[in-house]
Amino acid sequence: MNAPVASLPLLHVADLSLEFRTRSGTVFALENIAFSLNKGEMLGIVGESGSGKSVLAYSMLGISDGAARVTAGTAMFGGADLLKASEHELREIRGREVSMIFQSPRTALNPIRKVGHQIEDVLKRHAAVRGVDLRERAIDCLKRVRIPDPARRYDAYPFELSGGMCQRILIALALACQPSLLIADEPTTGLDVTTQAAIMELLSSLAAEQNMASILITHDLALAAQYCDRIAVMHAGHLIECGPAEEVLNAPHHPYTRRLIASTPHTAPSIAAMSPIPGNLPDLRRSDLPPCRYAGRCERFEAACNAAPLPEFAITPHHTVRCWNAE
């Protein structure tokens, strides 16, 4: 599934830096982010809150907060640079080529509009479906995300549906135009573990059916490792390690990735064996941020770490790590 594709990657992000200009200073939220994504591949972006996972996703869709400025970089998608595209161009891409699923399904849906009509809105805008076909296509969309009794659910309001069912509606909305890239921002946070399994199975089987690439943003390393082909680990606005899921999980090279794995309850044999990560994320408003933003928390830190900009080493052709002292 993760065999390298000879042709160009579907999405290629290079050198992306982004900052927020706020009254309390400039927040250097992303710095020199680079990754690429092939057709049909699922990439997991993992990190603690505040590491920049969602900011990265929003920047690619042009839906960042007004205070955000992309200061460098490109995000090439199908021959166009998403970071430089005009709002008009982005409107044609969003929903049709690139779709997004948001974290809390209840707040992402319009509470006073029937879910069937919300799907029709997408079809009308992006697929130019008109008239009597509209209802049929919307019901088809509901059927595709395995909603039982879709013709009846068409008339339901979001409050009448469970959290898992609302998330299915959001997936139906996102996939209505069969996009080639889906960005899922914490799609199962707040859902029960059994519902989470059902949603993840649905997402990965739909992605396989349509050969759709997807980016799964999550803080759950075990979940990302179970479903993703590759995992990218973020810390304080840096993408510090990226590689095949099994490799990152079983043989991590960045000290932060190692500590992150050691602090998840999934892998720990006992509470005492869990090793928390010392310290906190650095304040990203500092103008004197060290080249390595993990330096203050790192047990392998040496003075040489901050003498030069962060390097990128390739452990294998598909596994990169950004650390002077990688293991």
Partner 1 sequence: MNTPLLRVERLVKHFKVGRNAMLHAVDDISLDIAPGESVGLVGESGCGKSTLSRVLARLIDADSGHIHFHDGAQESDLAASPAARFARHAQRGVVQMVFQDANDSLNPRYLAQDTIAEPLRLLVGMKDAAAIKARVEELAGWVGLPTELLGRYPHQLSGGQKARVGIARALASSPRLLILDEPTAALDVSVQATVLQLLADLKARLGLSYLFVSHDLNVVRLLCDRVVVMYLGKVVEQGPAQEVFAHPHHPYTQMLVAAIPDPHRKGQPAQIMQGEARSPINPDPRACRFHGRCPHGEPRCELHTVSLREVAPQHLAACHLLED
List contacts with partner 1 (CB under 8 A): 48-49, 148, 162-163, 192-198, 200-201, 219-223, 225-227, 245-246, 249, 259-260, 263-266, 268, 270-272, 274-277, 280
Write the CB contacts of 227 (distance below 8 Å, at least 6 apart in sequence).
42, 44, 200, 203, 204, 216
Tokens for 202, please give them: 């649905």
Q: State which amino acid sits at residue 299.
A: E
- For partner 1, give the closer residue by CB, 48 or 140: 48
- For partner 1, give the closer residue by CB, 25 or 121: 25
- What is the closest distance, in whole angstroms, from the C-beta atom of residue 27 to partner 1 in the complex? 17
- For partner 1, give the closer residue by CB, 14 or 197: 197
Identify whether the C-beta of residue 4 lies closer than 8 Å to the C-beta of residue 38: yes
What value, to the nearest 5°, has the Cα angle with vertex 99 and ends 95 and 103?
A: 125
Rounded to whole angstroms, the Cα distance separating 74 from 19 reads 15
Rounded to whole angstroms, the Cα distance separating 175 from 103 reads 16
- What is the closest distance, in whole angstroms, from the C-beta atom of residue 131 to partner 1 in the complex? 32
- What is the closest distance, in whole angstroms, from the C-beta atom of residue 258 to partner 1 in the complex? 12
- For partner 1, give the closer residue by CB, 264 or 306: 264
- What is the closest distance, in whole angstroms, from the C-beta atom of residue 266 to partner 1 in the complex? 5
Q: Shortest CA distance to 105 belongs to which of 58, 172, 47, 176?
A: 172
- What is the closest distance, in whole angstroms, from the C-beta atom of residue 2 to partner 1 in the complex? 11
- b vs e for 105-140, b when ≥16 Cβ sit within 10 Å of the residue's Cβ? beebbeeeebbbbbbbbbbeebbebeeeebbeebbe
- What is the closest distance, in whole angstroms, from the C-beta atom of residue 198 to partner 1 in the complex? 5
- For partner 1, give the closer residue by CB, 75 or 200: 200
- For partner 1, give the closer residue by CB, 46 or 173: 46
